[in-house]
Amino acid sequence: MNQISTIGLDLAKNVFQIHGADAEGAPIFNRKLRRADVLRFFEKLPPCLVGLEACGSAHYWAREIAALGDDVRLIPPVYVKPFVKRGKTDAADAEAISEAVTRETMRFVPIKSADQQAAAMVKTRALLLRQQTQAINALRGHLSELGIIAATGTAKVAELIEIVRDEEDVCLPKAARLALAEIADQIQALTRQIDKLERGIVGEVKRDEDMRRLITIPGVGAITAASVKALVPDPEGFKSGRHFAAWLGLTPKPHSSGGKERLGDISKMGNPTLRSLLVCGATSVL
């Protein structure tokens, strides 16, 4: 049996697919592994090059496998897709990962530590904001059916909540008041959670030197600074500000053929949360 040089690991929740190849790229095995057997499998192998697609649990598995002495590299899924020969199967994906990780020009994703992953959960605020917006829109929509409206803006929602809470207001039927009171409770609870999270983020920004430097940039506040620190893997990996903008998806998407160069809209290929924060910050400055 030839010496295993490269392994492509297709991650999943319970059943993983693993593809092994020798130094020449010839396949040695392609098999399934249960979740509990993955680390035991790598413990028995000599150190080799291991490729994984960058996904939700990829950083955890990369840290665990690297601790066993292997050279682990994370590949963006979009860069693996061209190496899939035909069809969409776990075996084909594992083989494609094994081939893609050996390419000299391949771009890899830096492996995050557990602390870096924890810091990235600052995007929980975006989830709470979406839920708050959904609840506010529901409250506005239901009340508008009864001819009750308020000016635009989150601050004006307090007027609608007061109407829902006012038991003496006869313009709101009892059945509607009972149902809309639950939505009002949800809005207020989400508002408290968002305020608590924002206060924690602001406190963390004041303690961190890098984030304090970031908030000196016009249009960058505490939320944006914390998001940049948490979601940008390694700032030293960018050669210039334009490279960072391209990674975020803020540069035009090129489409050139036959010597004619065309620039389209921004590519939007980066992190949507971070990109939206920076665009809002730039708009406020302008």
Last residue of a domain, one of 56, 90, 111: 111
275 assigned to some structural domain: yes
Q: Give the tens place of pLDDT for each residue, 244-284.
A: 888 888 888 888 888 888 888 888 888 888 898 999 999 99
Judge whether 163 and 176 are in contact, CB under 8 Å: no
Q: Give the tens place of pLDDT for each residue, 127-178.
A: 999 999 999 999 999 999 988 888 888 888 999 999 899 888 777 888 899 9
Last residue of a domain, one of 63, 96, 111: 111
Position 133 scores a pLDDT of: 94
Q: What CATH number should be reported for the domain holding residue 71?
A: 3.30.420.40
218 assigned to some structural domain: no
213 assigned to some structural domain: no
Q: Are residues 100 and 13 in the same domain?
A: yes
Tokens 């050139």 sit on residue: 256
203 assigned to some structural domain: yes
226 assigned to some structural domain: no
Residue 258 to residue 37: CA distance in whole angstroms: 52
DSSP per-residue codes, 29-55: EEEEEEGGGHHHHHHTSPP-EEEEE-S
Note the Cα 17 to chain centre separation in Å: 24
Q: Which residue has the higher pLDDT, 116 or 181?
A: 181
What lies within 8 Å, CB to CB, of 186 at 6+ separation is: 131, 135
Judge whether 47 and 71 are in contact, CB under 8 Å: yes
Judge whether 35 and 14 are in contact, CB under 8 Å: yes
224 assigned to some structural domain: no
Q: Give the tens place of pLDDT for each residue, 11-57.
A: 999 999 999 999 888 999 999 999 999 999 999 999 999 999 998 89
The mean predicted confidence, pLDDT, of the chain is: 90
Q: What is the dihedral of CA 23, 64, 73, 89, to 10 degrees?
A: 80
Residue 83, pLDDT above cutoff 90: yes
Domains in the chain, number: 3
Percentage of the chain beyond pLDDT 70 is 100
Q: Are residues 91 and 146 in the same domain?
A: no
User: Lowest mean pLDDT: which of 67-71, 102-106, 170-174, 221-225?
Assistant: 170-174
User: Lowest mean pLDDT: which of 60-74, 189-203, 241-255?
Assistant: 241-255
Q: Are residues 242 and 255 in the same domain?
A: yes
Q: What is the DSSP letter of 18?
A: E
Q: What are phi and psi of 142, to 5 degrees?
A: -65, -45
Q: Are residues 86 and 138 in the same domain?
A: no
Q: Which residue has the higher pLDDT, 121 or 275?
A: 275
Residue 79: pLDDT band (50, 70, 90) is very high
Q: Are residues 89 and 177 in the same domain?
A: no
Residue 112, pLDDT above cutoff 80: yes
Q: Are residues 103 and 134 in the same domain?
A: no
Judge whether 23 and 3 are in contact, CB under 8 Å: yes
Q: How many other CB atoms sit within 10 Å of the CB of residue 42?
A: 24
Last residue of a domain, one of 54, 85, 111: 111
Residue 94: pLDDT band (50, 70, 90) is very high
**Domain of residue 262, residue span:** 232-286
Q: Which residue has the higher pLDDT, 262 or 186?
A: 186
Q: Are residues 127 and 141 in the same domain?
A: yes
214 assigned to some structural domain: no
Q: What mean pLDDT do residues 176-186 have? A: 93
Q: Are residues 245 and 281 in the same domain?
A: yes
What lies within 8 Å, CB to CB, of 43 at 6+ separation is: 68
Judge whether 95 and 157 are in contact, CB under 8 Å: no
SS3 of residue 224 by DSSP: helix
Q: Are residues 15 and 103 in the same domain?
A: yes
Residue 271 to residue 248: CA distance in whole angstroms: 6
Judge whether 16 and 65 are in contact, CB under 8 Å: no
Tokens 């010839």 sit on residue: 26
Position 215 scores a pLDDT of: 93
Q: Are residues 166 and 244 in the same domain?
A: no
Q: Are residues 13 and 99 in the same domain?
A: yes
Q: Are residues 106 and 124 in the same domain?
A: no
